[in-house]
Structure 1
Amino acid sequence: MTDHPSTYRAADTHREGIQWDDRASLHRNDDGGGVLDGAKGVRKGTFAEMIRFVMMLPEGERSQYHIQKAGDREYSYAEIADLATQEGFPAA
């Protein structure tokens, strides 16, 4: 998994495309967020692993979750489903 800055003096911290190996965590939509939000993650791993996990859930449960990716970016189920179908999405 990547952590930033990734080089000495942070000269190469921006990489093009989706960083599938960034740190990510799966959260329930109703977990309340807040100061201790990081501790409320249901599962942790790479961004690609979290997308795969959500897509393996029963269809009726998928929309109950979101992914928080490194850099405080939150992905809704609609975004997760779209990313899972992208050509560059890594195979399991």
Structure 2
Amino acid sequence: MTDHPSTFHGDPQNTGAIDWDDRAALHRVGDGRGVFDGSKALKHGTFSDIIKHLMMLPAEEREKYAIQKAGDRKYTAEEAVALADHPNFPRD
């Protein structure tokens, strides 16, 4: 997983590649963060699975959701739509 430190010097392995199999969760925009952030998730899965799920929603509904990826990075629905068009996105 690219967002986790290696065991040597504890530095992230920033390869520039997208880790489609990384952990992710679907959240409502503005659900608040905090201690119970993980329990507010509507769906958990791999980053690619959560993007695929978001893409199944009607376009006008997508903006109500965001994807929280492992490593504390949140993706907007607009960013997720762009990633779904990425040439390396796993379609299967």
Give the TM-score normalised by structure 2.
0.84
Q: In the aligned structure 1, how far is the partner of 2:72 from the partner of 2:63?
A: 20
Alignment partner, residue 53 of structure 1: 53
Secondary structure (helix, strand or coil) at the match of 2:24 reads: strand
Runs of 4 or more off by more than 3 Å in structure 1? 2-5, 7-16
Q: Alpha-carbon deviations, 1:40-73, whole Å to 9, x = none? A: 0000000000000000001111110000001000
Q: Alpha-carbon deviations, 1:2-32, whole Å to 9, x = none? A: 4845x65568844441000000000001312
Give the structure with the higher percent helix.
Answer: 1
Alignment partner, residue 22 of structure 2: 22
Quote the RMSD (CA, aligned, Å).
1.9
Alignment partner, residue 32 of structure 1: 32
| Structure 2 CA distance for partners of 1:11 and 1:53, relative to 1, 3 Å | same
The sequence identity of aligned pairs, in percent, is: 48
Unaligned 5+ segments in structure 2 are: none
Q: In the aligned structure 1, how far is the partner of 2:35 from the partner of 2:11?
A: 31
Unaligned 5+ segments in structure 1 are: none
